Structures are given as C-alpha cells and as structure tokens.
Amino acid sequence: LFGSSGSGKSTHSLKLAGALKEQGTSVEYVPEYAKYLVYSCHNRMLLDQFKIFSEQRHSIDILRDHDIDYAIVDSPLPLGILYGEKYGTMNKSLSSVIIEEFNTFDNVNFFVTRTVSFNQVGRVESRDESDSDSYLLKELLNKHNINYVDITTHTSTDEILNYIKGN
C-alpha cells in the first residue's frame, strides 16, 4: 500500500492480512523498517535510503522462498525514492535499482488517501508535510508507470479484498 505518513497504510495492511488469514490465504505482513528507526530514535538513519531500501527489500525477499500467496507491505520499496528525493539523498542509480527490484514482484498496489485526523505518533513528518508528500508520491508513481487503485482511510477491507481477489 502506498500513501503518505499517517494515511492509514499500517491500519489497512494489518486488517487485510488478518482478513486474508481468516479466509485461509497464506499471507504475511511486512512492517515499515523506517518506523522502527523513528521509534528507536535513529532519525538520522532515515537519510540513508540505501540502508532502508536494503532492510525493507530483505524483509520482503525472505518470503519469496516460502509458499506465501500475498505479502502485505506497509512500506513499498518506491517510497524510498520519495523520501530520498525529499531529503536530497537519492541518486539516479539507486532510484533505478529500487524500481527494478519493485518490478520483480507481482504487485497489486493501492494508494491510501488520508480522510481522518493526522496522528503524529511514530512519524517525523507534520500533517502539512504528509499532505505534500501524498501529492509528490502520486507524481512519482505516475512517472514510473506504477499502477495503483485509489482508496481512502475509510475504504472497507471487503472492498479491497474484492479487488485483490478479482485480479
């Protein structure tokens, strides 16, 4: 799931993983590595998008060797491009690698737009920054021809599941 900070990615991810498991689907939730850095007060490490990409990619890649139908990823790899560009730490080769690696997966992408109050807990961005990032993220996805389905914080889990099962 794509979306800016506080849009509801984690909430949707956890609900989807739970619902799919209840249906007997083999699914795993892949948490956002960057959030661990925030909670452990390693905010400077957020500038190292190569490290974040490597850790997030490793967490996803572990599942490839197992019989997993779906990996619900709270922080898709291209989010690193957004934050790398935002903080001036992204270079063209890393951006290319991120997109190339992202495209090795059979992705079903959703873009979550926040429709609730912004909650600052576990985030370094302000509400205004999050709103701006949402716009920039959509531009990034379009630039790299990454298809997505628009949803909101209030989109029901059943609606998302129906889309997933239909594809």
Summarize pLDDT for 121-165 with one digit per residue, the tens.
Answer: 766 678 888 889 899 999 999 999 999 999 999 999 999 999 988
**How far apart, in Å, are the Cα atoms of 27 and each of 63, 149, 150?**
10, 20, 22
What SS3 string covers 124-149? CCCHHHHHHHHHHHHHHHHHCCCCCE
Average pLDDT over residues 10-34: 91
State how far Cα 157 lies from the chain centre. 17
Residue 110 has pLDDT above 70, yes or no: yes
Average pLDDT over residues 38-44: 63
pLDDT at 138 (0 to 100): 97
Q: Which two tokens stand for residue 12?
A: 């949707």
Look up the pTM and report it: 0.87
Cα distance between residue 151 and residue 167, in whole Å: 16
Q: What are the backbone angles phi and psi of residue 108, rounded to the nearest 5°? A: -120, 115
pLDDT bin (cut points 50, 70, 90) of residue 44 is: low
Average pLDDT over residues 71-78: 91
Beta carbons of 33 and 97 less than 8 angstroms apart: no
pLDDT at 47 (0 to 100): 64
Average pLDDT value over all residues in the chain: 88
